[in-house]
């Protein structure tokens, strides 16, 4: 047939048969004359068995004589019947069409496979394969927290075809790869004892057997010494003592010095009736430790303390404490502490709902201080609002958020390798990337090497080892690009480019022992906020979120400095020097000088500023001078972002919208059709019906 396809049809043959050829559409292929049934010809085992020696080939038995089948001229005339030629032509066209359709289906199949892989990966992403927090990781991995077994039977699509779950990255980082932690107290864990500070000894409580308690002669047995002490237990209790103090303000009618009248005000008194320090500390405790709303705080105060406390009063107390912290310069003290003393800084950000809108809380964390600030913007504007990073010149640890790499910043970068490990696990588990396993092992090997060096008191890894790590690192990245040559840009290539371009930031933990392997400290500083949002739902105003960040920064910093936050709050509310009480006299001196310089720059002239700079015994760098010129931190109350109006916005009152849509529909159905109105055909009616369905409550 291939030879016949190259032979043209003679014109005279085509002219004679053209009128006899039916139209092209009448040939339906394949014909249905013979329906092939799959079981019509079944092969039975043993039906045709070959017996050895049955058909033996004898040499020369079947010799093919030359010229046995010689083609005689004009024996076979070509072309045959024109109908056969037309059928052949149709088959070739059908073959071309099916090949094109098969290619389209193959491409579509590949697209669906890629989409299926993405959906599967998204479905099974968890805290060990992405930046999803551990509180949501169990749901993402479909793993019950109690058993640790896989629920989804298709969870083994990842790489090895079994129902295994992704490995625990946190376990690898902490050096615990042996499975679940055993219950109870862990090894080398400090024991906890029941203890109350400043306890007052109460009267002992005597206990006698139940049979003796109701006996009329128990007093006689006690006097005669018939009982002996068996054992002793210790109980601790708290008594709520309600105190009413009357504050009396005096004024001097005639001063002994000048004979004039002297008047004054109540120190710290805010009205004719108010709640004093201990009540305020209880409210701060309920708000920032138990994350209670103001209504629930009032309920707790009523039931536990017998206080009539409204939600507005609780809110006013929180605002007053926040303003006291801000006015004392403590937030600026944290800022200057970071700029003066800290060599490594962890930064992160998280979202917070404010009256239905998305705001952002930025954190700057070290082992000694915590600084939380609230802003509407997540990017550059929100980062520089705290007044730290634009003046910081040391090293920060981040999760590779793009605004941290702004050209105006001067600090050095270190990446959170915990995020890198999770992305490597996802690449190896979901996308079968062999290089990701090698990179995972290399980073953990380097981490363990660093831990061993720290345990031995060393201050750094050998330079030869670091060079070897860099060589292996670069080889693995090159293998990854070779393995994904020709692939489209996606998560795998993005990860490879990040590893290639930010090699120094990824390996910073090995070069500088002050840099942590992860950025967990920054993430932990934001956990209380996320718990508060889960309990309260949202903050009503941006100043309310800012007050929460100020008080949380104060309490967390006090804990890191080794102090009880509420003891420090007592010093603050009583008017003491809170900066010296928290940071100590040695570090408080330069911090206070920088705060004083900030106030002078904000209010004084150039001569006063020069005199203040001359008094400071610090070598003021350009960055410190700029930080002092930045000004004091304040409660952010900028304009909220504008909401974009969308026609697809779901209304709040869905039932009312449904009633209106149903009313319009009934009116349209009941409206008479004018005689002169052109009638629509069925296709137009279908379009109108679909349009009416789309104009339902969702788009009302």
Tens of pLDDT, residue by residue over 481-518, are 999 888 888 888 999 999 999 999 999 999 999 999 99
User: Could you give the CA distance from residue 622 to residue 448 in angstroms, rounded to a whole number?
Assistant: 39
Percentage of the chain modeled with pLDDT above 90: 33
The token duo for 678 is: 């052109």
Bridge partners (DSSP) of residue 360 are 351, 375
Could you count the other beta carbons within 10 Å of the beta carbon of residue 320? 15
Nearest Cα to Cα of residue 558 among 548, 550, 568, 549: 568
Residue 221 above 90 pLDDT? no
Taking the CA atoms of 428, 431, 434 and 435 in sequence, report the sign of the dihedral they define: negative
User: Which of 88-92, 181-185, 475-479, 579-583 is the least confident region?
Assistant: 181-185
Band (211; pLDDT cuts 50, 70, 90): confident
User: Which of 173-187, 302-316, 351-365, 445-459 is the least confident region?
Assistant: 173-187
The token duo for 229 is: 């002490």
pLDDT score of 151? 36
User: Could you give the CA distance from residue 201 to residue 236 in angstroms, rounded to a whole number?
Assistant: 9
DSSP string, 201-263: P--------HHHHT-TTHHHHHHTT--------------------------BSS-TTT---B-
What count of residues does the chain have?
A: 700
Q: Rounded mean pLDDT of 656-679?
A: 59
pLDDT score of 677? 43
pLDDT score of 127? 63
User: Could you give the CA distance from residue 213 to residue 232 in angstroms, rounded to a whole number?
Assistant: 18
Could you count the other beta carbons within 10 Å of the beta carbon of residue 528? 17
Residue 684 above 80 pLDDT? no
Percentage of the chain modeled with pLDDT above 70: 70
Q: Which of 27-31, 582-586, 610-614, 634-638 has the highest mean pLDDT?
A: 582-586
Q: How buried is residue 141: exposed, middle or buried, by Cβ count under 10 Å (0-12/13-18/19+)?
A: buried
| Rounded alpha-carbon distances, angstroms, from residue 193 to 161, 183, 201, 234, 431 | 49, 19, 18, 12, 50
Q: Which residues contact 662 (CB under 8 A, 6 or more apart)?
A: none
Of residues 29 and 494, more confidence is placed in: 494
Q: Rounded mean pLDDT of 613-634?
A: 78
User: Could you give the CA distance from residue 695 to residue 671 in angstroms, rounded to a whole number?
Assistant: 18
Residue 656 above 80 pLDDT? no
Nearest Cα to Cα of residue 521 among 666, 397, 619: 397
The token duo for 320 is: 């007053």
Could you count the other beta carbons within 10 Å of the beta carbon of residue 399? 19
Average pLDDT of every residue of the chain: 77
Task: Mark 128-140 as b/e (b = at least 16 C-beta within 10 Å).
Answer: bbbebeeeebeeb
pLDDT score of 181? 61
DSSP string, 172-210: HHTT--SSSPPSSSPTTPPP-----TTPPP--------H
Band (580; pLDDT cuts 50, 70, 90): very high
pLDDT digits (tens, 9 = 90+) for 89-135: 888 999 999 999 999 999 999 888 888 877 877 777 666 666 665 55
User: Could you give the CA distance from residue 276 to residue 271 in angstroms, rounded to a whole number?
Assistant: 11
Residue 29 above 50 pLDDT? no
Residue 340 above 50 pLDDT? yes
| Rounded alpha-carbon distances, angstroms, from residue 25 to 20, 82, 88 | 15, 17, 15
Instruction: Give the dihedral of Cα atoms 334, 338, 340, 345; nearest 10 deg.
Output: 170
Domain boundaries defined on the chain = 1-23+77-123, 125-157, 281-416+519-641, 419-518
Q: Rounded mean pLDDT of 639-661?
A: 67
Could you count the other beta carbons within 10 Å of the beta carbon of residue 611? 11
Residue 682 above 60 pLDDT? no
Q: How buried is residue 481: exposed, middle or buried, by Cβ count under 10 Å (0-12/13-18/19+)?
A: middle
Residue 672 above 90 pLDDT? no
CB 345 within 8 A of CB 392: yes
3-state helix, strand, coil in the chain (%, to 5): 50, 5, 45
The token duo for 486 is: 């020709």
DSSP 557: H
pLDDT score of 88? 86
pLDDT score of 6? 43
H/E stretch holding 345:
strand 344-354
Taking the CA atoms of 83, 85, 88 and 90 in sequence, report the sign of the dihedral they define: negative
User: Could you give the CA distance from residue 134 to residue 530 in angstroms, rounded to a whole number?
Assistant: 12
Nearest Cα to Cα of residue 347 among 363, 334, 361: 363
Band (693; pLDDT cuts 50, 70, 90): very low
The token duo for 306 is: 């017998």
Give the SS3 label for residue 379: coil
User: Which of 345-349, 382-386, 489-493 is the least confident region?
Assistant: 489-493
Bridge partners (DSSP) of residue 371 are 364
Of residues 125 and 20, more confidence is placed in: 125
User: Could you give the CA distance from residue 270 to residue 279 in angstroms, rounded to a whole number?
Assistant: 14
Give the SS3 label for residue 496: helix
Q: Rounded mean pLDDT of 381-408?
A: 92
User: Could you give the CA distance from residue 101 to residue 113 in angstroms, rounded to a whole number?
Assistant: 18
pLDDT score of 136? 53
pLDDT score of 133? 58
The token duo for 237 is: 């209790």
Could you tell me the pTM of the whole model?
Answer: 0.70
Residue 435 above 80 pLDDT? yes
Of residues 482 and 609, more confidence is placed in: 482
Q: How buried is residue 172: exposed, middle or buried, by Cβ count under 10 Å (0-12/13-18/19+)?
A: buried
Band (226; pLDDT cuts 50, 70, 90): confident
- R_g over Cα of the chain: 41
Could you count the other beta carbons within 10 Å of the beta carbon of residue 336? 26
pLDDT score of 306? 82
Residue 263 above 90 pLDDT? no
Bridge partners (DSSP) of residue 684 are none
pLDDT digits (tens, 9 = 90+) for 516-545: 999 999 999 999 999 999 888 889 899 999
User: Which of 11-15, 239-243, 298-302 is the least confident region?
Assistant: 11-15
pLDDT score of 640? 81
The token duo for 688 is: 């109108």
CB 414 within 8 A of CB 431: no
H/E stretch holding 494:
helix 491-501
Band (324; pLDDT cuts 50, 70, 90): very high
Band (657; pLDDT cuts 50, 70, 90): confident
User: Could you give the CA distance from residue 341 to residue 587 in angstroms, rounded to a whole number?
Assistant: 9
pLDDT score of 117? 77
Q: Rounded mean pLDDT of 371-394?
A: 93
Q: Rounded mean pLDDT of 569-592?
A: 92
Could you count the other beta carbons within 10 Å of the beta carbon of residue 344? 20
Of residues 267 and 250, more confidence is placed in: 250
pLDDT score of 17? 47
């Amino acid at each position: 047939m291939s030879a016949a396809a190259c032979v043209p049809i003679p014109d005279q043959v085509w002219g004679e048969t053209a009128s006899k050829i039916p139209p092209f559409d009448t040939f339906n292929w394949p014909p249905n004359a013979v329906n092939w049934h799959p079981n019509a010809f079944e092969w039975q085992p043993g039906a045709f068995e070959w017996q050895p020696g049955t058909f033996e080939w004898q040499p020369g038995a079947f010799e093919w004589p030359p010229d046995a089948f010689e083609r005689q001229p004009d024996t076979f005339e070509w072309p045959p019947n024109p109908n056969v030629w037309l059928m052949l032509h149709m088959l070739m066209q059908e073959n071309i069409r099916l090949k094109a359709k098969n290619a389209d289906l193959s491409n579509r199949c590949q697209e669906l496979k890629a989409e299926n892989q993405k959906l599967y990966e998204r479905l099974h992403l968890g805290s060990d394969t992405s930046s999803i927090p551990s509180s949501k990781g169990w749901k993402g991995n479909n793993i019950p927290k109690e058993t640790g077994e896989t629920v989804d039977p298709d969870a083994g699509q990842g790489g090895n075809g079994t129902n295994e779950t992704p490995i625990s990255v946190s376990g690898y980082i902490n050096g615990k790869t042996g499975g679940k932690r055993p219950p109870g107290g862990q090894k080398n864990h400090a024991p906890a004892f029941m203890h109350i500070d400043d306890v007052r000894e109460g009267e002992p409580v005597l206990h006698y057997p139940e049979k003796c308690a109701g006996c009329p002669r128990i007093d006689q047995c006690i006097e005669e010494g018939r009982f002996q002490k068996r054992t002793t237990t210790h109980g601790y209790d708290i008594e709520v003592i309600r105190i009413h103090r009357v504050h009396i303000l005096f004024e001097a009618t005639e001063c002994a010095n000048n004979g004039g009248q002297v008047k004054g005000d109540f120190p710290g008194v805010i009205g004719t009736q108010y709640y004093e320090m201990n009540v305020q500390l209880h409210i701060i405790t309920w708000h920032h430790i138990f994350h209670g709303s103001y209504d629930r705080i009032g309920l707790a105060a009523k039931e536990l303390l017998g206080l009539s406390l409204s939600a507005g009063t609780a809110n006013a107390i929180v605002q007053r404490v926040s303003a006291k912290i801000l006015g004392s310069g403590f937030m600026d003290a944290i800022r200057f502490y970071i700029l003066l003393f800290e060599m490594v800084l962890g930064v992160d950000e998280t979202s917070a709902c404010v009256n239905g809108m998305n705001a952002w809380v930025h954190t700057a964390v070290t082992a000694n201080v915590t600084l939380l600030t609230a802003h509407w913007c997540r990017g550059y504007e929100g980062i520089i609002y705290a007044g730290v990073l634009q003046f910081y010149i040391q090293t920060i640890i981040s999760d590779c958020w793009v605004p941290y790499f702004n050209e105006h910043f001067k600090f050095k970068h270190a990446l959170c390798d915990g995020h890198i490990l999770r992305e490597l696990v996802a690449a190896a588990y979901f996308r079968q990337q062999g290089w990701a396993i090698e990179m995972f092992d290399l980073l953990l090997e380097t981490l363990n090497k660093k831990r061993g060096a720290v345990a031995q008191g060393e201050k750094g890894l050998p330079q030869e080892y670091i060079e070897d790590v860099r060589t292996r690192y670069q080889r693995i990245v090159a293998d990854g690009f070779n393995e994904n040559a020709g692939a489209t840009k996606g998560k795998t290539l993005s990860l490879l480019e990040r590893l290639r371009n930010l090699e120094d930031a990824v390996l910073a933990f090995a070069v500088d022992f002050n840099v942590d392997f992860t950025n967990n400290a920054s993430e932990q500083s934001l956990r209380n906020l996320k718990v508060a949002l889960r309990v309260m739902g949202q903050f009503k105003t941006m100043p309310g979120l800012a007050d929460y960040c100020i008080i949380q920064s104060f309490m967390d910093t006090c804990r890191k400095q080794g102090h009880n936050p509420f003891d420090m709050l007592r010093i603050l509310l009583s008017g003491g020097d809170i900066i010296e009480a928290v940071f100590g006299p040695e570090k408080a001196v330069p911090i206070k000088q920088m705060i004083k310089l900030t106030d002078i720059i904000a209010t004084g002239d150039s001569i006063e500023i020069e005199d203040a700079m001359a008094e400071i015994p610090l070598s003021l760098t350009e960055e410190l001078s700029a930080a002092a010129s930045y000004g004091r931190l304040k409660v952010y109350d900028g304009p909220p972002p504008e909401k974009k109006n969308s026609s697809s916005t779901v209304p709040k009152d869905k039932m009312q919208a449904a009633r209106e849509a149903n009313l319009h529909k009934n009116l349209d159905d009941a409206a008479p059709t004018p005689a002169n109105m052109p009638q629509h055909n069925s296709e137009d009616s279908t379009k109108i019906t679909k349009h009416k369905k789309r104009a339902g409550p969702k788009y009302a």
